[in-house]
Amino acid sequence: MASESSFDVVSKVDRQEVDNALNQAVKEIAQRYDFKGVGASIAWSGDTILMVANSAERVLAVLDVFQSKLIKRNISLKALDTGDGEPKPSGKEYRLPATIKEGLSSEVAKKLAKIVRDEGPKGVKTQIQGDELRVSAKSRDDLQAVIALLKGADVDAALQFTNYR
Maximum distance among all alpha carbons in the chain?
A: 67
C-alpha count within 13 angstroms, C-beta hemisphere, residue 163: 12
CA quadruple 101, 104, 108, 114: dihedral, nearest 10: 160
Domain 5-12+104-162 maps to which CATH number in 3.30.70.860, 3.40.190.10, 3.40.50.10490, 3.10.180.10? 3.30.70.860
On whether the CB atoms of residues 39 and 93 are closer than 8 A, the answer is yes
Q: What residue spans define the domains of the chain?
A: 5-12+104-162, 15-100
Say if CB 65 and CB 82 are below 8 A apart. Answer: no
CATH classification code of 15-100: 3.30.70.990
Cα–Cα distance measured from residue 53 to residue 60, given in angstroms and rounded to the nearest whole number: 9
pLDDT digits (tens, 9 = 90+) for 21-42: 999 999 999 999 999 988 899 9
pLDDT tens digit sequence for 81-91: 998 888 999 88
15-100: same fold as 5-12+104-162? yes
pLDDT for the residue 105: 86
Could you give the CA distance from residue 13 to residue 143 in angstroms, rounded to a whole number?
23
Helices (H), the chain: 15-31, 56-72, 106-119, 140-152
Q: What are the tens digits of pLDDT across the range 66-119?
A: 999 999 999 999 999 998 888 999 889 999 999 998 888 888 899 999 999 999
Q: Whole-prediction pTM value?
A: 0.84
